[in-house]
């Protein structure tokens, strides 16, 4: 069920009414309603994959209970291994089986052998990368004794399957989200109104910006051999805004909807394209995944505490694994490795935590140094996104080759002026709201009511009049 669909527009008010007007006096009934709504929401795509979520929920719930009673370290490790193998086993089979099979056959053939192996027609369950990491956070934290295991199966099932963020995050930690299912929730009008503003802005980013960019991205990338380097630059720029508005738009909608039901999810994007270096970009982009890898992979590997060789190793591991998490294609691995190359000089020179604040905080205009830093970081990011969007490495290098040719100085053959205007308005609003949780959190709150409501109405009209053709959220494929 898509957030930007008629189905969801009917689904959400029904669940909201049942939640606050029927089940509001009983916490367990509210949690059970969330589980039922979440399974309906997910099963709308393919009900068969509900069994995966249920099995993973049962396994991790049982492992958590057993870990609470087990004191022998070796047995605790076995229990943790069961959870990891079950969760990553499902993820590995559905997402990576054909990738490893195809590369094994290619390598075998390269060394003169011959092997016949047939790929499987595997359908990737929507959101499996997200809820897998969410459930893993529970068993890992229970194993590390950072979290008491729950005996409330309904609350745990609601944590695993919570429909606003089930299929594309944010990837919540059990230590943060699970306790919220134990607490009685009361309706807060101001919180709900703020949530609706965030939903509105998320829909604008997805429907008006991302979906309109998608039409030109698909046109240019799918026919890249027919276009000049200047047009390919525009294609890369449009994809840069498409993936940001598509993914952060989903996160805004998910966080806003959660607030309607009395839950607080973590911030997943913090205006990453205003970053002044790559380290700052990765602190602001897909924060829930970046911090997950930091806490459960990078730090256990030794983090930045060792010598230079360990720092280099750990940096490449974290970025390559992050790239591979996104998809079973060498393009994602190269994308991750390229970001590691961007990041390493900052780490080795101990400048990776230089830009911790908000750019031009308290000022409208950034200074020249900030403009150059943002422009450089943004340009590097755009180049990396080409690998992310390309069909394969051959396509990516051909695309880059044309960009770095003399045809980049030609006049682009694709010049969507309406889209340029939309992007200009969007960037301005994001810049004005960069100190908030989301761009329009505070924008307009001090205005007179007619002007403030006129602003919201303008966003609604923009969604209705200028929304592009409906596109599936990009991160559903991950």
d(CA 166, CA 250): 11
DSSP string, 130-174: HHHHHHHHHHHHHHTTSSPPP--HHHHHHHHH-GGGTTT-----H
- The residue among 67, 61, 65, 63 whose CA lies nearest residue 153 is 61
Catalytic site residue from 184, 286, 326, 395: 326
d(CA 232, CA 390): 12
Q: For residue 391, give the 3-state DSSP assignment.
A: coil
d(CA 402, CA 406): 8
Q: Is 395 a catalytic residue?
A: no
Distance CA 15, CA 164 (A): 12
Q: Do residues 16 and 260 lie in contact, with contact meaning Cβ atoms separated by under 8 Å?
A: yes
Q: Is 271 left (phi over 0), alpha (psi -120 to 50) or beta?
A: left
Q: Counting every residue, how long is the chain? A: 478
Nearest C-alpha neighbor of 171 from the set 121, 203, 131, 215: 131
∠ Cα 233 386 105 (to 5°):
145
Measured torsion, CA atoms of residues 59, 178, 148, 299, in degrees rounded to the nearest 10: 90
CA 343 vs CA 117, 164, 311, 387: distances in Å = 39, 32, 11, 17
Bond preceding residue 44 cis, omega within 30 of 0: no
Active site residues: 326
């Amino acid at each position: 069920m898509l957030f930007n669909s008629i189905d969801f527009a009917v689904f959400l008010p029904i669940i909201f009414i049942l939640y606050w007007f029927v089940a509001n006096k009983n916490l367990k009934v509210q949690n059970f309603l969330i589980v039922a709504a979440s399974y309906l929401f997910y099963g709308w795509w393919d009900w068969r994959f509900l069994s995966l979520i249920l099995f993973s929920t049962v396994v991790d719930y049982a492992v958590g209970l057993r870990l609470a009673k087990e004191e022998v370290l070796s047995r605790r490790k076995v229990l943790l291994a069961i959870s990891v193998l079950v969760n990553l086993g499902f993820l590995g089979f559905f997402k990576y089986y054909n990738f490893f099979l195809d590369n094994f056959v290619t390598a075998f053939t390269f060394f003169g052998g011959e092997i016949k192996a047939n790929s499987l027609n595997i359908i990737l369950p929507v959101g499996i990368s997200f809820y897998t990491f969410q459930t893993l956070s529970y068993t890992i934290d229970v194993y590390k004794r950072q979290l008491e295991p729950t005996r409330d199966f309904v609350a745990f099932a609601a944590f695993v399957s919570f429909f606003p963020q089930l299929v594309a995050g944010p990837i919540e930690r059990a230590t943060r989200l699970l306790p919220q299912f134990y607490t009685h929730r009361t309706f807060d009008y101001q919180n709900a109104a703020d949530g609706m503003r965030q939903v509105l802005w998320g829909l604008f980013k997805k429907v008006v910006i991302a979906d309109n960019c998608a039409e030109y991205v698909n046109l240019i990338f799918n026919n890249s051999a027919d276009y000049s380097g200047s047009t390919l630059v525009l294609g890369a720029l449009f994809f840069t805004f498409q993936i940001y508005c598509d993914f952060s738009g989903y996160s805004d909608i998910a966080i806003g909807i959660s607030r309607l039901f009395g839950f607080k999810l973590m911030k997943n994007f913090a205006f990453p394209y205003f970053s002044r270096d790559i380290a700052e970009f990765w602190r602001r982009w897909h924060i829930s995944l970046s911090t997950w890898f930091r806490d459960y992979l990078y730090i256990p590997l030794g983090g930045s505490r060792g010598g230079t060789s360990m720092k280099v190793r750990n940096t490449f591991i974290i970025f390559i694994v992050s790239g591979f998490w996104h998809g079973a294609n060498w393009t994602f691995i190269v994308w991750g490795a390229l970001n590691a190359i961007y990041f390493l000089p900052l780490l080795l020179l101990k400048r990776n935590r230089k830009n911790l604040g908000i750019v031009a905080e308290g000022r409208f205009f950034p200074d020249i140094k900030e403009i150059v830093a943002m422009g450089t970081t943004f340009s590097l990011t755009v180049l990396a996104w080409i690998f992310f969007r390309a069909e394969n490495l051959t396509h990516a290098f051909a695309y880059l080759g044309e960009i770095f040719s003399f045809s980049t100085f030609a006049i682009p053959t694709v010049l969507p002026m309406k889209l340029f205007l939309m992007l200009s308005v969007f960037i301005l609003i994001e810049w004005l709201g960069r100190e908030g949780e989301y761009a329009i959190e505070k924008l307009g709150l001090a205005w007179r009511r007619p002007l403030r409501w006129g602003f919201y109405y303008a966003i609604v009209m923009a969604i209705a009049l200028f929304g592009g053709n409906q596109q599936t959220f990009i991160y559903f494929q991950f």
